[in-house]
């Protein structure tokens, strides 16, 4: 009787462990990787610039989704982004490699389509900067050495927030989203000029 009780208990524990493992696997999806691409509508804002108009560029890169459960995940990204603006007859074209680390919340829904929200910080490293006026263009470095423009800053810290819709296309998950990126660092040294831009992005998860 004792042996039978031990065997039944062991079987019950094994079944419970297997059930818990299956439930955990179901509740927490595996990490996924995907691509993002879309348009930027950027500008420059601050006390040292006024009446700046938008520059339209593109943004593209990769993202990794690290699920904490079915609803919450951490999403690090690596993006190439075109930014800048036009003001006073001059146009600034600045390109960055941006690394956001975003917290993502997917609203669980029974339908194939569901909303999601993202927010988090981003670090950006400038990889290109040109200023143009009257049909002439030159790098920011050359112009700052000549004393024509302030010296650029190669690093920016931003806050990112946005929302979108995720949906399934066969075995692939796609998303359409919009986000706003707010720069906290000055784009040029000794000047109050900061990056601001709005993005519309299409995502594809492998």
Could you tell me the pLDDT band of residue 162, with boundaries at 50, 70 and 90?
very high
Could you tell me the pLDDT band of residue 206, with boundaries at 50, 70 and 90?
confident
Q: 31-205 in CATH: which number?
A: 2.40.160.20
- pLDDT of the residue at 45: 93
- At residue 97, what are phi and psi to the nearest 5 degrees? -100, 120
User: How far is residue 42's CA from residue 181's CA, in Å, rounded to a whole number?
Assistant: 9
pLDDT per position as a tens digit, 33-72: 999 999 999 999 999 988 889 999 999 999 999 999 989 9
pLDDT per position as a tens digit, 106-147: 998 777 889 999 999 999 999 999 999 877 889 988 888 887
Domain boundaries, the chain: 1-28, 31-205
Is a pLDDT exceeding 80 seen at residue 78?
A: yes
- pLDDT of the residue at 67: 92
User: How far is residue 185's CA from residue 122's CA, in Å, rounded to a whole number?
Assistant: 12
- 68, 78, 101, 153, 166 from 105: Cα distances, Å: 10, 19, 13, 33, 11
Of 26-30, 70-74, 78-82, 84-88, the poorest mean pLDDT is in: 26-30
- pLDDT of the residue at 204: 95
User: How far is residue 113's CA from residue 195's CA, in Å, rounded to a whole number?
Assistant: 33
Q: Tell me, what DSSP letter sits at residue 191?
A: S
- At residue 28, what are phi and psi to the nearest 5 degrees? -115, 100
Three-state secondary-structure class, residue 30: coil
């Amino acid at each position: 009787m004792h042996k039978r009780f031990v065997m039944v208990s062991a079987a019950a524990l094994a079944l419970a462990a297997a059930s818990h493992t299956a439930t955990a696997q179901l509740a927490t999806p595996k990490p996924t990787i995907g691509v993002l691409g879309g348009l930027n509508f950027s500008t420059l804002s601050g006390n040292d610039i006024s009446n700046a108009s938008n520059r339209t560029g593109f943004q593209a890169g990769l993202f990794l989704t690290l699920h904490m459960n079915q609803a919450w995940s951490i999403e690090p990204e690596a993006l190439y982004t075109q930014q800048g603006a036009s003001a006073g007859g001059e146009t600034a074209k600045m390109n960055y490699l941006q690394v956001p680390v975003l917290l993502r919340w997917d609203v669980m829904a029974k339908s194939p389509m569901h909303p999601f929200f993202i927010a988090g910080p981003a670090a950006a490293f400038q990889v290109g900067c040109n200023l143009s006026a009257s049909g002439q263009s030159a790098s920011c470095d050359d112009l700052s050495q000549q004393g024509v423009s302030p010296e650029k800053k190669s690093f920016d810290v931003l806050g990112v927030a946005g929302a979108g819709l995720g949906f399934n296309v066969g075995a692939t998950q796609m998303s359409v989203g919009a986000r706003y990126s707010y720069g906290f660092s000055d784009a040029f040294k000794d000047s109050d000029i900061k990056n601001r831009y709005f993005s519309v992005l299409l995502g594809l998860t492998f």
